[in-house]
């Protein structure tokens, strides 16, 4: 059975978040390690981190995903903003050393007119400055909707970044179902074809986590507006086909749908029930 979970608020601390995950029947989750729109890290309570580590181990959680703040842009024109991105990532990765074996996902960034090639190089430069050989976290590039000058709307963008990162074994990718559809990859009618594409360009072995979101917009819209499962253009069947795909099944699947935690719990229960039905069908 796949690991299923949702994006949770970390406002009450790490251990409380683990309890929230348990309360909705999740065995993975995603969270921010700091305010998603602000740069300042809160002081981290190491004993709280340790209590979460034990809770996750005792309850046999799959790997979880820490999400970088949205304001991070490692391919900004502004050197100060690029420096801040490196600082935030280094700080977050230091916290994650207390929770070894998990993932750190980030939006590659927006090249703001500098071009895709320059954007990809700047992102790789940051990673080469921040990644450490001894770190126990794998850093994931998220597939993006390709809005504006966003890097990561094409699998080729991710491949270009990965090819320039020295500590390549510390890197992976995270597939977002809303984003790839918005970017124009037809996972509704041709999931196998999209995964073949991903395998050819990036390598399926790089894929470490999946964001399961429906989309408010038609394929190719380059918009990035998430919808609840079954309430968007992808539909329940597409999401189930992703979770139940033989090449993906073993991964953590995380909801980032517009819902609160109890709502995410209901979506998870519905997904588990539908997956059971598929198994016995």
Residues contributing to the site for Fe ion (CB under 5 A)? 142, 176, 211, 256
- Measured from each CB, the residue nearest to Zn ion is 224
* CB closer to Zn ion out of 77 and 222: 222
214 touches Zn ion by CB under 5 A = no
| Closer to Zn ion by Cβ: residue 99 or 141 | 141
Question: Beta 109-110 vs 65-67: how paired, if at all?
Answer: unpaired
Closest CB 157 distance from Fe ion, rounded Å? 15
Closest approach, Cβ 107 to Fe ion, in A, equals: 6
For residue 40, with 0-12 CB atoms within 10 Å meaning exposed, 13-18 middle and 19 or more buried, which class applies? Answer: exposed
Q: Can you tell me the distance from the alpha carbon of 270 to that of 275, in angstroms, rounded to the nearest whole number? A: 9
Task: Please identify, using beta-carbon distances, which residue of 13 and 258 lies nearer to Zn ion.
Answer: 258
Structure token digits, residue 218: 């038609």
Binding-site size, Zn ion (CB under 5 A)? 1
Read off the tokens for 25: 């029947």
- What is the rounded distance in angstroms from the CA atom of residue 234 to the CA atom of residue 74? 31
The smaller minimum CB distance to Fe ion, of residues 61 and 106, is found at: 106
Among Zn ion, Fe ion, none, residue 274 binds (CB under 5-8 Å by kind): none
7 binds, among Fe ion, Zn ion, none (CB under 5 to 8 A by kind): none
Give which of Zn ion, Fe ion, none residue 211 binds (C-beta under 5 to 8 Å, depending on kind): Fe ion
Dihedral sign for Cα 164, 168, 171, 174, please. positive
Select 52 or 173, whichever has its Cβ closest to Fe ion. Answer: 173
Candidates 4-12, 18-26, 167-175, 220-228; binding stretch for Zn ion (CB under 5 A): 220-228
CA distances from 98 to 53, 103, 162 (A): 8, 12, 26
Burial profile 7-30: b = 16 or more Cβ within 10 angstroms, e = fewer: bbebeebbbbbbebbeebebbbbb
The verdict on 224 binding Zn ion (CB under 5 A) reads yes
Chain contacts with Zn ion (rule: CB under 5 A): 224
């Amino acid at each position: 059975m796949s690991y299923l979970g949702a994006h949770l608020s970390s406002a009450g601390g790490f251990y409380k978040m683990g309890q929230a995950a348990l309360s909705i029947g999740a065995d993975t989750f995603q969270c921010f390690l700091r305010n998603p729109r602000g740069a300042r890290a809160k002081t981290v309570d190491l004993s709280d981190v340790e209590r979460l580590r034990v809770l996750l181990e005792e309850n046999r959680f799959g790997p979880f995903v820490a999400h970088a703040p949205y304001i991070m842009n490692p391919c900004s024109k502004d050197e100060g903003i690029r420096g801040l991105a490196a600082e935030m990532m280094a700080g977050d990765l230091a916290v994650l050393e207390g929770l070894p074996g998990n993932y750190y996902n980030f939006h590659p960034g927006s090249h703001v007119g500098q071009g895709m090639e320059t954007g990809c190089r700047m992102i790789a430069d940051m990673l080469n400055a921040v990644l450490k050989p001894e770190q126990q976290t794998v850093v994931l590039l998220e597939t993006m909707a390709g809005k504006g000058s966003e890097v990561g709307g094409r699998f080729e963008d991710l491949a270009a970044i990965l090819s320039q990162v020295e500590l390549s074994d510390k890197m992976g990718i995270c597939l977002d179902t809303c984003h790839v559809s918005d970017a124009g990859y037809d996972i509704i009618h041709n999931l196998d074809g999209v995964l073949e594409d991903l395998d050819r360009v990036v390598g399926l072995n790089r894929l470490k986590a999946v964001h399961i979101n429906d989309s408010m917009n038609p394929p190719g819209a380059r918009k990035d507006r998430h919808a609840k499962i079954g309430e968007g253009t992808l539909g329940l069947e597409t999401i189930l086909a992703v979770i139940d795909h033989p090449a993906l099944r073993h991964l953590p699947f995380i909801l980032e749908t517009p819902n609160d935690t109890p709502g995410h719990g209901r979506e998870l229960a519905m997904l588990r029930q539908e997956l059971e039905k598929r198994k016995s069908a």
